[in-house]
Amino acid sequence: MNLLSKSEKRNAVIETYLNSPERQRKLYRRTLITVIFSQIFGGAGLAAGITVGALMAQDMMGTDKFSGVPTALFTLGSAAAALLVGRFSQKLGRRIGLGMGFVVGGLGALGVVAAALANSLVLLLISLLVYGAGTATNLQARYAGTDLASPKQRATAASMAMVFTTLGAVAGPNLVNVMGSVALSIGVPSLAGPFLLAAVAYLLAGAVLLVFLNPDPLLIANAIAEKSSEGSTGSSSQTLGEAAKKGVTLGAFIMILTQVVMVAIMTMTPVHMKHHGHGLSEVGLVIGFHIGSMYLPSLITGILVDKVGRTVMAMASGVTLLLAGITAATAPSDSMGMLIIALSLLGIGWNFGLISGTALIVDSTTPSNRAKVQGSVDVLIALAGASGGALSGMVVASTSYSTLSYIGGFIALLLIPIMFWLKSKK
């Protein structure tokens, strides 16, 4: 009886939004603010694995050959989480799907700390898989801002959620030494320090969403779409279905290709730097610039994607990633400036691809299937990242960091001809 009354109450709340565009606009703005605050914490959480994950594995395994495995594992974990978060969000709303995803990611970060204390490689690998839930959730949160956005606001809405990830994401890598000292002071290995920060950050991000993302924007958007479709005919459903599939395929391809290139080069940069005498603080600085470049340009990128088009910005992504690969490959090993430029370009290229691809996915879905499709696409993105992370170590071990960077850059450039081919394909 209690469950029924809760359901009735929720339906009554949804009903108040159906005939009030003003209430819808207010909820859209409030949703963005809530997502923004969660992203600030989420950004700090995702930075830990990127910055020190490979270094922890290198210490435990005693070889560089498998130093890409941690990135592959938490990216693989994020693939499973993306699927689950998408399914739960579609069924129960963004609040439950995203909130619980961050909580699980926080528990995974605590598991990494426990693995460092026990010096257990098995526990480390399992915990990194669970930690990946935070990465997937952090990425999927960008969609929550688009649920109530108009078609001309979608890329901008997604980018607003992402740009505030910068605050936490840049702070995280630059707190490596501080958190290492904190960890040592409580008897935890220094490399596990950033994961202490990640645990707190992810748990706070989850709490913000669970408490404040109410009413749920996806449930409201779904109800609005159902009402607007009442009385419409299905005569054009076939055509719309074909167009939607094409848009989803195009958006997914853009994000998958950019993810592979970005993760591969990013994963091996800390290892490359350590081999050439750079300390943790220098690694943290370079990765901080990289993550900042992944998210900080988002607001401008979103406006550009909405104004000049999804395809143009996707092609700009391929060119920017090529420049990143060439710069990384030719950068002198002792040049912090060149490495910062290379990793910044890498982040910007990824940003262009992610936001243009995200906008295409949102354009090609409806509230009734949006979260499910988004989760499925993010699974493919995560698997692509896992592949890039795992293979990067092997490529560097058998060739060099420069070779990896060249390969990544030229793969990204393939985005341009393949985009033309996919768009012209009937």
CATH of the domain at 273: 1.20.1250.20
Query: Smallest Cα–Cα separation from 134: which of 108, 96, 158, 159?
Result: 108
Is residue 6 one of the residues assigned to a domain?
no
Q: Name the token pair of 173.
A: 């890598």
Average pLDDT for runs of 10 along the chain of length 426? 60 79 89 90 75 72 66 78 90 93 94 88 87 87 85 83 75 72 84 86 94 90 79 47 83 92 90 81 84 85 91 94 94 88 95 93 87 88 82 87 92 86 65
Q: Name the token pair of 421.
A: 């081919």
Work out the angle at residue 137's Cα, subtended by the Cα atoms of residues 82 and 261, and round it to the nearest 5 degrees. Answer: 70
Cα–Cα distance for residue pair 68/268, rounded to 1 Å: 7
Assess contact for 287 and 262: CB atoms under 8 A: no
Query: Which pLDDT score is estimated for 257?
Result: 93
Cα–Cα distance for residue pair 65/58, rounded to 1 Å: 8
Query: Which pLDDT score is estimated for 355?
Result: 93
Is residue 367 one of the residues assigned to a domain?
yes
Helix orientation angle between 401-413 and 310-330, rounded to the nearest 10 degrees: 160
Query: Which pLDDT score is estimated for 63?
Result: 64
* Residue found by looking up tokens 């848009």 in the block: 247
Is residue 229 one of the residues assigned to a domain?
no
Is residue 5 one of the residues assigned to a domain?
no
3-class secondary-structure state, position 135: helix
Number of Cβ within a 10 Å radius of residue 424: 7
Is residue 11 one of the residues assigned to a domain?
no
Q: What do you get for the CA distance between the two ends of the chain, in Å?
A: 53
Cβ density class 2-38: b for 16+ within 10 Å, e for less: eeeeeeeeeeeebeebeeeeeebeebbebbbebbbbb
Evaluate the omega torsion of the peptide bond into residue 332 and state whether it is cis, within 30 degrees of 0. Answer: no
Question: In sequence order, what DSSP letters do the residues of 276-319 get, joined into one string?
Answer: TT--HHHHHHHHHHHHHHHHTTHHHHHHHHHHH-HHHHHHHHHH
Burial of 210 (0-12, 13-18, 19+ CB in 10 A): middle
3-class secondary-structure state, position 186: coil
Assess contact for 81 and 136: CB atoms under 8 A: yes
Evaluate the omega torsion of the peptide bond into residue 70 and state whether it is cis, within 30 degrees of 0. Answer: no
Q: Name the token pair of 235.
A: 């005569």
Helix orientation angle between 370-398 and 69-92, rounded to the nearest 10 degrees: 180
Q: For the chain, what is the domain count?
A: 1
Cα–Cα distance for residue pair 384/304, rounded to 1 Å: 26
Q: Quote the pTM value.
A: 0.76
Cα–Cα distance for residue pair 209/227, rounded to 1 Å: 27
Is residue 346 one of the residues assigned to a domain?
yes
Cα–Cα distance for residue pair 380/384, rounded to 1 Å: 6
304: domain range?
19-224+240-424
Is residue 12 one of the residues assigned to a domain?
no
Is residue 231 one of the residues assigned to a domain?
no
The residue type of 345 is: L
- Phi, psi (rounded to 5 degrees) for 49: -65, -35
Cα–Cα distance for residue pair 382/368, rounded to 1 Å: 23
